[in-house]
Structure 1
Amino acid sequence: MATMKAAFFDGHSSMMLADIPAPEPGPDDVIIRVRATGICGSDLLMNVDKTEPDQIPFGHEVAGEIAEVGPGVDARLVGRRVAIETIGHGLACATCWYCRQGQFRQCLNKRPNEGGGFAQYMKRRAIGCYPLPDALPWEDGALVEPLAVSVHGVRRGQMQGGETVAVLGCGNIGLTAIAAARALGAGKIIATARHAQQAEMAKALGADEVVSSEGTDLKEALEAATEGRGADLTIETVGGGTLGPP
């Protein structure tokens, strides 16, 4: 049986490399040769609570190329550069009631997760793969998943165009939310950041103003920009207790 390298959390404070069996495609599956995988904040937070080693490699922000296809999948997809939806319809049946509503995470017939992008290869359903342009760097391809999160969030805000948008936090999701809001027609975007490099990137991606996440800077900036009215849409990307009291 072919093997591959994979990275696992060791149950303490480190990642470890191990040789494990390489995945084999079943019906409607593809095998992806992983080229880049992002480290999500949720990966780090989950590790804090773990006391046992991982049994499968994690990693859900993935870009790679299709290396092999299973029965029912067009062989011409081999070699295709793709971003992978790893935890939704990359595992979903696509036919149950939830899947028909687009709620793939709630699939009643979801396939078991045999491993994610912290490995040389991974297996997912072909319908969970999205083509990437040839010129797009692999590292940028791995950002498709967090960008999709932000596009979804901005769309749920039902922007019509021209709104003043506040983005709280300039981590990966905050930065991609700025890019999404700008692309979807925001009028003015004001963001909060803790670090100078975050503020610089936020402005490069479309923020009009970036203020400190501490104190009352955001409130004052929003009131000044909107004649005291405040933001039309607020996108909170920080979570936890970092927002302080209401």
Structure 2
Amino acid sequence: MAIAFLLTIPLSSEIFAQTTYDVNIPTGAANPNAPFFWQSEKDGSTTGNVDILVGDTIIWKNADSAAHTVTSGIVSEGPDDIFDSNLFGPGKSFSYTFTETGDYPYYCLLHPWMDGTILVTEGYSIVPNVGKLVGNGETYFDVEYDFNRLLANPEINEDEKSISFEIIGDAQSDIHDLELRLHSELIDGNFVIWIDGEKISNFEQTKDGDLNILYVSLEPDSELLTIIGTSVVPEFGSLSMMILVTSIISMLILSQKSKIKF
């Protein structure tokens, strides 16, 4: 049964290649005082910045009453000739498929305050700096995952020895299996997994060196993933432990001196 389950789970990012993400140009974007100029349907962000993988496509859709361009390059240096929509009016769209890794800035030639960047990576998506806000702040890792939605807002509970991730965005395929790669210094043990407050059993856990690799079958509308282990990011790292030990020794020495003095 376990082998059959593993065979149904993609072990690479190829299954999610050529995913399409919409970036909408909202009504009023031609006004420099508009509250925002882009809206990504991938995660709801309005910065114009979108993280994608090699092979993915961005479709910019003009929902404004004015015409715009989507032109690669930066305002101060001008177009870099990688892609250019030319002028496209209300209700029209422009798409571009990114085949190489890198950062691709873009802007509107008519309205240069409208700018953004497409960040293209190869392989796994990343949740950065997980563990940095707990313990001593010295032990943290980028968590890699392969999924048709986004993992965000990681939260570590040191008492429960758990890590939780919010699951956000629209599904980009009909395959809802997650591959999650967690460093053993971030969380370790035989894991128990909860989805939206319910304990599940349809997952597999394997080990690859220092990485714990989880294969989890999720529902299209899942919202919260919680992983419980036997250890999470240590409360005290090596430097903090040395400082603690030094402080204790110093206190003992001072205590002994005080006793001798009296």
| TM-score calculated relative to the size of structure 1 | 0.29
**Which structure shows the higher strand fraction?**
2
Identify the structure with the greater helix proportion: 1
